[in-house]
Amino acid sequence: RAAGLLVVGLQAGAIAGALAAGAIFEATGGDLTVTMMIPAIAVTLIAGVIWLGVPESEPTPGRRLDTWGFVLLTWGLLLVTGALVYMRMIPQLDLGENAWWWVVALFAAGIAVFVWFVKFELRQDDPAIDIRVLRRPEMWPVQTTAFLVGISLLGAQGPLSTYAGTDSSLGYGLGLSASQRSYVIGVYLLSLIIGAIIFAILSRRANPRLILIGASLLVGIGY
């Protein structure tokens, strides 16, 4: 139930951001710099909210924070996502075929850091991510489900906005403006909130496995 409520809060913020982004982009005459400054300010303010409003947890005796584990995890994510972003920029900026080698190098470096991270975590008494638990056979279905759900839900936002904004004269797309695309994304995120609320209610009355199976069927029907 708590996880469902957290998702509700997260997606509510995402809806507000999506709707505000379209309105701000139109109001500033298409100034992308000003539009992107708004979420940057909001994210910065979050640090103050956490510092002042979130109570400090009491440290458990005999345990410590795996700082270097989080550092390695951060660098691995930065390198892999950086490779994907750079790959998308190659055709947009016409960087040439040689630029693909940078994509390969960044991605390979990210994978190498992740391998280092796994080996490092296996030697820690208090790891940032407990690899020993994740590699248990009974955890594989859970991780596979999370991976596939992430692709179908979170990964769909980029293609959705691209399709909605592409001019239909190209053979596909809806040709919507920035504000209209924000409404489409808002409806998409609203469905996630509804699902999270329903899950929070039903999880106390039904088998979570059956709920996830039903949710997966709805996602398949949607596609």
Query: What are the residue ranges spanned by the domains of the chain?
Result: 1-36+132-223, 67-127
At 3 the pLDDT is 67
**For residue 78, what pLDDT is reported?**
94
Q: What does the mean pLDDT of the chain come to?
A: 83
Return phi, psi of residue 218, to 5°.
-65, -40
Q: Cα separation of 102 and 8, whole Å?
A: 38
8 Å CB contact between 87 and 110: no
User: What is the amino acid identity at position 70?
Assistant: F
pLDDT of res. 62: 73
Give pLDDT tens digits for 208-217: 788 878 888 8
Going by pLDDT thresholds of 50, 70 and 90, the confidence category of residue 1 is low
pLDDT of amino acid 61: 74
Q: How confident is the model at residue 2 (pLDDT cuts 50, 70, 90)?
A: low
Which of 101-105, 112-116, 164-168 shows the lowest mean pLDDT across its residues?
Answer: 164-168
Which pLDDT tens digit goes with each residue over 145-198? 888 888 877 777 777 778 888 888 888 888 888 778 778 877 877 887 788 778
Report how far Cα 29 is from the mean position of its chain's Cα atoms.
29
Instruction: Classify 96 in phi/psi space as left (phi over 0), alpha (psi -120 to 50) or beta.
Output: left
Supply the pLDDT for residue 71. 95
Per-residue pLDDT band for 76 (boundaries 50, 70, 90) equals: very high
Q: 99: which DSSP letter?
A: G
Average pLDDT score over residue span 61-79: 89
| Segment 118-128, tens digit of pLDDT | 999 999 888 98
Give the Cα separation of 219 and 223 in Å (integer): 6
pLDDT 10s digits, 9-31: 777 787 788 778 777 887 888 78
Q: Sign of the C-alpha dihedral, residues 185, 190, 193, 195?
A: negative
